[in-house]
Chain A
Amino acid sequence: MPTFFEKKQLVTPGELLAEGDYLPGENTYVENGKVYASRIGLVDSDNKKVNVVALRAFYLPKMGDIVIGTILEVGFSGWTVDIKAPYNAMLRASDVLSRPFKPQNDELSAVLNAGDLIVAKIASYDRAHDPQLTVGEPGLGKITRGQILRVTPTKIPRIIGRKGSMISMIKQETNCQIILGLNGVILVTGKTIEEEEVAIEAIQKIEEESHTSGLTDRITQFLKEKKQPVKMEETQQ
């Protein structure tokens, strides 16, 4: 039962990874008992399971995911939302208004208009139906302030870090609130624009260097350095 890769080797679609008693993990497939890669990425095996960590991928909706989307269109009984996925999501008016929705009384564009950004949760999704969103939980709803940035969706786990270590560290050091949409859209809200900029830079740094080891330490270092000059300027004034 041989494998044909070294750990963390860069592979392209179609490359033969393993033969025989192996299971296909993420971004791989089996044909005639052989495991092949289906995306460009770095291979890794976990017991008998062969995984490829994709370097290029798109977001596929999953039930329960928190995402950040843009309102595309205001419809008769809800909104169409762009969640940077192959499918547009639907948000129903009754879900937002939290009371029975009457088309005669309620002007939907007054609640959410085209171009508005929202934090939402995927309420349902399957291959036959477009994803359905909900905002009926604390922390979800229209975004009123902060800055938005986009990263490759596959990098989100790295930004979260082991048990959320990375993201909580950035939050703490920059005094920013950060909401990570699993679709690769990130919302950063801080007290000042400078603090937001530092958090954004840190996240971009993680995205660029996501495959290096000792990244947490370097990000800590980076945030410390960024903090110093800001404080010096304050004392000078």
Chain B
Amino acid sequence: MNDKTDKLIDKKGIRGDGRKADELRSLKLQVGVLSNADGSAYIEHGKNKILAAAFGPREMHPKHLSQPDRMVLRCRYHMAPFSVPERKSPAPSRREVELSKVIKESLEPALFLELYPRTGVDVFVEVLQADGGTRCASITAAALAIADAGVPMRDLVVACAAGKIDDTIVLDLYDVEDKLGSADVPVAYMPNLNAVTLLQMDGVLSSSELEKAVNMAMDGCKNIYAMQKEALKTKYMVVKETEE
């Protein structure tokens, strides 16, 4: 190991990529990027590049998966073979199956599933380039895609991670910190309802550290939410401007 990876955060509190402990990576969000999907969104979160597309509500195929009393949300998280330095097999891995489930479950509380029984909404998340924290960026983009498809939602869902590197709690870990750090806490959050829809912890944290990490991640979520809202509005801003 060289000096760089030895220390993830220096004495001044500057991290490997030049950020402070509570600083987010740069974010870019765009809505309505795919014309064949009912709704779509694109996110660039640091070096992460992720596309999300939403379809529906529509008849479920295969039909036996539909529920007589509610709508079914299906999610597919997939990483492109070229999304990581070493080629990733395009077949769904164990990790991708898990993340699909995690994304689905963090979005479900935001939808009015009971309003459209026997139907299904499909969300496809395609990771084009990965650099740590893809599950969070995927949730943020997927929520936008669903909103863009015109599916009624209780709230947008935003996600952000916090973690621990070299005994410091930091916000929004990137790939190196994720791999060499001692803990990672992804949080998905509905800002207007003040409800957490996903909370995971990977690594070891004391209870006070966990509390600090969750609060930090929630603050990060609020910052991302402002950008998320802005991105959704930008697509329809043209309408508003002509009206004035």
Contact = CB atoms under 8 A, between A and B. Distances in A.
Contact of A58 (B150, B153, B240): B150
A14 B59 contact: no
B156 interface: yes
Contacts of B58: 86
A128 B242 CA distance: 42
Interface string A31-43: 1000010111010
A12 B155 CA distance: 8
A55 interface: yes
A107 B50 CA distance: 51
Main secondary structure of the interface of B (DSSP, over half): mixed
A212 B243 contact: yes
A14 B117 contact: no
A88 interface: yes
Contact of A39 (B150, B240, B242): B150
A211 B152 contact: no
A87 interface: yes
A213 B148 CA distance: 25
Given A40-B232, A86-B56, A212 B242 contact: yes
Interface string B27-67: 00000000000110000000000000000111100000000
Given A86-B58, A86-B59, A14 B116 contact: no
A111 interface: no
5 contacts: A13-B110, A38-B112, A40-B150, A86-B57, A211-B240
Interface of A: 8, 10, 12-16, 27, 29, 31, 36, 38-40, 42, 54-58, 86-88, 127-128, 209, 211-213
